[in-house]
């Protein structure tokens, strides 16, 4: 069970593993793969809620391949699980898809939109503490690399370590090469 001053919720095994990995302080990026309804998205979002509470004024970005999918899938998950009144719909900017918490922390929802922005210019100058790559198998490897580059660029007096969380469904693409194959071979460094 994970307890915060805003709410109490039961964490499933996947979510407990995500929290343990994030708060171990060992990892700069963490991928969680699994099937539908395994708790990946909710676990990642709850990590962001915790970070927003622990580090007032921090900034995080949740990235998905396309804006319509982001609005149809990730935003409803956010509003279904976001602790209220810490995050309140009145403090959500619908123009730039940014949720602002009562302590000034922010979660921005950004589409990769690689066909409209092949050079990822939308990430230039983006200052955040970290990212969630939602359905990371759908985004390009260069987006993952850009997120690694930009994580930790938002300066604060007391800062969380730069962090990139990825979640994905089973897939044969770059994530299998980057994480799964080295992991199953015992060659994936922390």
Query: pLDDT tens-digit profile of 59-108?
Result: 999 999 999 999 999 999 999 999 999 999 999 999 999 999 999 999 99
Does the pLDDT of residue 36 top 70, yes or no? yes
- For 59, the 3-state DSSP assignment is strand
Does the pLDDT of residue 2 top 50, yes or no? no
Separation of first and last alpha carbons in the chain:
26
User: For residue 111, what is the DSSP state?
Assistant: E
Question: What pLDDT is attached to residue 105?
Answer: 97
The H or E element containing residue 22 is helix 13-23
75 torsion bin: left (phi>0), alpha (psi -120 to 50), beta (else) = alpha
Q: What is the tally of helices (H) and strands (E) in the chain? A: 7, 9
pTM: 0.91
DSSP collapsed to 3 states, 118-155: CCCHHHCCCCECEEEECCHHHCCHHHHHHHHHHECCCC
Does the pLDDT of residue 117 top 60, yes or no? yes
Other beta carbons within 10 angstroms of residue 140's beta carbon come to: 16
């Amino acid at each position: 069970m994970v307890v915060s001053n805003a709410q109490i919720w039961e964490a499933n095994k996947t979510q407990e593993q995500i929290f343990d990995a994030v708060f171990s302080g060992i990892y700069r990026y963490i991928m969680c793969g699994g099937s539908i309804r395994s708790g990946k998205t909710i676990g990642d979002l709850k990590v962001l809620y915790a970070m927003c509470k622990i580090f007032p004024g921090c900034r995080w970005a949740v990235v998905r391949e396309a804006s319509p999918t982001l609005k149809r899938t990730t935003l409803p998950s956010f509003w279904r699980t976001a602790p209220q009144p810490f995050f309140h719909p009145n403090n959500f900017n619908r123009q730039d898809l940014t949720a602002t918490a009562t302590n000034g922390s922010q979660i921005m929802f950004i589409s990769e939109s690689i066909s409209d922005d092949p050079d990822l210019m939308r990430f230039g100058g983006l200052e955040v503490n970290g990212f969630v790559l939602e359905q990371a198998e759908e985004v390009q490897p260069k987006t993952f690399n850009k997120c690694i580059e930009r994580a930790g660029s938002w300066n604060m007096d007391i800062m969380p370590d730069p962090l990139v969380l990825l979640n994905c469904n089973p897939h044969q693409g770059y994530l299998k090469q980057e994480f799964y194959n080295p992991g199953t071979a015992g060659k994936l460094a922390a």
